[in-house]
């Protein structure tokens, strides 16, 4: 009778012997707990320096104590333009005789005539000086690039820096206009009455109407012999069109049906719309800069966003700059980004308790951080899971909820730091010492004192001590006909989870029948278990595990180790008590 110690037997000596064995079992359990304590649930992750592929316009330097420090690599447009969202860059860091293509290599320069000036540029090595009648830069447009497209222009920003010597009316800072459709069509940025005027001619479509012109001509006067940063930005989601000087909005309108944000946004395009609504290219005129202008130009750039990215980018911009009125005030070129690898935490449901970093902020610079976490494995550049902005020394991130209402907890995490320079492009922040305190969501302790207290021909009664872990949700009963192999898992009795609610005092008692086994068979969605029925004289092995309330019935749930197993052999007849 090798199975006797795990079977239902009559123990000589009655209750005294049973109590003695129970005390011995308790001592063994306590001894095992002392020798094998549960792992420490808390920890700190000190993030190592990111690799070069994780740096965009950022560089790692050594601090005074040898600590690795992140800062912005290059403050000029030439090195900071993301090719996926940048159409054209002219950093004017080379003489006109060598300017054959723009810095992105998207466009050919048809004609270039200016004086190259070093030491006076707003950023980078130099800038372009215009003052002669023949001075100017002509750019060949290309089909498929932003300046040459006839489709929806999406969200875009046109920006440059200028230092006017004179405030000549009609000075062309930038122009991309054509007349082949019979009317003036395109974008032109000029100086009129001492101000920068942005004209968008025939760009916006009113539904079922002809295109119309939008001209932004209000705002502050330019100051001669002073650098100014100019930007014209359009948000395709909200319809906001803004003209900014030196980071402050000069004039804003909403190019929408109602004149309010988001309400019937008009689509911008260089194309001509046919009667059936399709857009057609009638002309792709070249672009020009510096005609009839006297002064310096530097760091010209056009940035855009793919339509599928608009919603995400716009939402990020709103969170970054706090309100619609501040979108675009910080020029795109002055940001360095550090995106960490995806780190693996010790277990699912891990809770980020505090995220912190060290920073040195020069005047008018700042750092903002994003964080994401998930139980599902993801790659560095995946669009999911969502990113969430966090503050320095932010505590209890795990109490924040994501879009589906679940808490921000998981096994895999990633951070992304944005380093923003001063508006004049001269100072950069420094970031180091990125750390995260976390706490594991440990599985419950294994159920104790499992025993088979009764058996019939096709029924078994199991009893065990109630688990008192704070987040216990229920129990699963594993059973099979071979030692160490379980062919069925039972988690419900009459359609209800096996929980502490079924306990009588400190013990839980469950009656297992073939009907209960049949009820649990559909829970095995992968159909890997056989769920053998109870039969007389067959020896069965049973063990019980406890599980918590974290994402129950998923692979991310936390389940305890199995209890010590018991064996029982159902048989006919009635036991004498």
Whether pLDDT at 13 is above 50? no
Q: What is the spatial distance between Cα 408 and Cα 370, in angstroms, rounded to a whole number?
A: 13
Contact 240, 156 (CB under 8 A): no
The rounded Cα 552 to chain-centroid distance in angstroms is 25
| 118-127 residue pLDDT tens | 877 666 678 9
**pLDDT grade for 331, boundaries at 50, 70 and 90:** very low
Closest residue by Cα to residue 347 from 62, 38, 87, 67: 38
Domains 42-73+335-439 and 86-305 share a fold: yes
pLDDT: is 493 or 336 the higher one?
Answer: 493
Closest residue by Cα to residue 373 from 399, 408, 345, 323: 408
Give me the chain's average pLDDT, please: 83
Half-sphere exposure of 190 (CA within 13 A, CB side): 17
Dihedral sign computed on CA atoms, order 114, 118, 120, 123: positive
Q: What is the spatial distance between Cα 185 and Cα 200, in angstroms, rounded to a whole number?
A: 8
Per-residue DSSP letter, 309: G
Closest residue by Cα to residue 453 from 511, 402, 400, 398: 511
Closest residue by Cα to residue 298 from 113, 120, 422, 506: 120
**pLDDT grade for 334, boundaries at 50, 70 and 90:** low
Whether pLDDT at 448 is above 90? yes
Whether pLDDT at 309 is above 60? no
Considering the domain 4-38+443-568 in this protein, what is its CATH number?
A: 2.60.40.10
Residue 230's pLDDT is: 93
> How many CB atoms neighbour CB 552 within 10 A?
15
Residue 426's pLDDT is: 75
| 149-179 residue pLDDT tens | 888 888 888 999 999 999 999 999 999 998 8
Residue 122's pLDDT is: 63
Q: For domain 42-73+335-439, which CATH number applies: 2.40.50, 2.60.40, 2.40.10, 2.60.120?
A: 2.60.120
pLDDT: is 138 or 2 the higher one?
Answer: 138
Domain coordinates of the chain in residue numbers? 4-38+443-568, 42-73+335-439, 86-305
Whether pLDDT at 315 is above 70? no
Q: For domain 86-305, which CATH number applies: 3.40.50.720, 3.40.50.300, 2.60.120.200, 3.60.110.10?
A: 2.60.120.200
Q: Which two three-digit tokens encode residue 5? A: 């110690």
Percent share of the chain, pLDDT over 70: 82
Contact 559, 447 (CB under 8 A): no
Residue 259's pLDDT is: 87
**pLDDT grade for 332, boundaries at 50, 70 and 90:** very low
| 180-199 residue pLDDT tens | 767 888 999 999 999 999 99
Residue 39's pLDDT is: 56
Q: State pTM to two decimals.
A: 0.55
Residue 148's pLDDT is: 87
Q: What is the spatial distance between Cα 486 and Cα 519, in angstroms, rounded to a whole number?
A: 17
| 19-75 residue pLDDT tens | 454 455 444 444 433 333 455 688 999 999 998 888 888 899 988 788 899 998 876
Q: What is the spatial distance between Cα 72 and Cα 430, in angstroms, rounded to a whole number?
A: 8
Whether pLDDT at 4 is above 50? no
Whether pLDDT at 310 is above 70? no
Residue 119's pLDDT is: 78
């Amino acid at each position: 009778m090798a199975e006797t110690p795990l079977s239902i037997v009559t123990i000589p000596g009655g209750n005294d012997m049973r109590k003695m064995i129970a005390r011995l079992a308790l001592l063994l359990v306590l001894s095992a707990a002392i020798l094998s304590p549960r792992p420490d649930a808390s920890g700190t992750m000190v993030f190592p320096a990111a690799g070069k592929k994780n740096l965009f316009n950022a560089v790692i330097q050594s601090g005074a104590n040898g600590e690795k420090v992140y800062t912005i690599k290059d403050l000029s447009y030439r090195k900071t333009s993301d090719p996926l969202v940048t159409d054209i860059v002219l950093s004017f860091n080379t003489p006109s005789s060598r300017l054959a293509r723009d810095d992105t290599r998207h466009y050919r320069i048809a004609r270039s005539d200016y004086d190259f000036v070093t030491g006076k540029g707003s950023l980078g090595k130099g800038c372009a000086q215009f003052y002669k009648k023949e001075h100017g830069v002509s750019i060949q447009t290309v089909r498929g690039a932003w300046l040459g497209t006839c489709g929806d222009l999406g969200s875009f920003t046109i920006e440059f820096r200028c230092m006017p010597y004179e405030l000549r009316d009609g000075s062309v800072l930038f122009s991309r206009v054509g007349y082949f459709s019979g009317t003036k069509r395109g974008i032109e940025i000029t100086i009129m009455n001492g101000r920068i005027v942005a004209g968008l001619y025939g760009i916006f479509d009113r539904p079922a109407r002809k295109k119309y012109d939008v001209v932004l001509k209000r705002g502050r006067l330019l100051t001669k012999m002073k650098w100014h940063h100019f930007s014209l930005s359009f948000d395709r989601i909200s319809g906001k069109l803004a003209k900014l000087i030196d980071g402050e909005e000069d004039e804003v309108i909403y190019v929408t049906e109602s004149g309010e944000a988001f309400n019937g946004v008009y689509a911008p395009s260089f194309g001509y719309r046919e009667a059936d609504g399709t857009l057609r290219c009638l002309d792709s005129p070249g672009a020009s800069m510096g005609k009839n202008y006297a002064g310096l130009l530097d760091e010209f750039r056009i940035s855009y966003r793919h339509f599928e990215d608009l919603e995400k980018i716009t939402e990020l911009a709103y969170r970054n700059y706090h309100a619609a009125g501040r979108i675009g005030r910080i020029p795109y070129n002055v940001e360095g980004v550090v995106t960490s690898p995806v780190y693996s935490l010790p277990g699912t449901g891990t809770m980020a308790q505090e995220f912190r970093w060290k920073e040195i902020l020069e005047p008018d610079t700042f750092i903002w951080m994003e964080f994401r976490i998930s139980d599902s494995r993801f790659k560095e550049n995946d669009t999911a899971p969502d990113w969430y902005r966090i503050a320095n020394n932010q505590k209890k991130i795990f109490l924040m909820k994501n879009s589906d209402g679940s808490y921000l907890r998981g096994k895999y995490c990633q951070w992304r730091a944005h380093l923003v320079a001063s508006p004049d492009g001269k100072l950069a922040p420094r970031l180091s010492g990125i750390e995260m305190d976390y706490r594991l969501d440990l599985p419950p302790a294994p159920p104790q004192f499992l025993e088979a207290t009764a058996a019939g021909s096709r029924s078994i009664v199991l009893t065990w001590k109630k688990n008192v872990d704070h987040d216990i949700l229920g129990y699963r009963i594993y059973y099979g006909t071979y030692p160490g192999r379980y062919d069925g898992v039972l988690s419900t009795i009459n359609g209800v989870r096996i929980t502490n609610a079924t306990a009588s005092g400190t013990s839980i008692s469950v009656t297992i029948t073939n009907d209960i086994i049949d009820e649990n068979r559909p829970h095995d969605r992968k159909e890997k278990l056989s769920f053998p029925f109870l039969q007389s004289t067959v020896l069965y092995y049973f063990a019980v595990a406890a599980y918590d309330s974290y994402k129950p019935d998923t692979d991310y749930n936390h389940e305890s180790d199995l209890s010590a197993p018991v064996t029982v052999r159902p048989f006919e007849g009635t036991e004498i008590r």
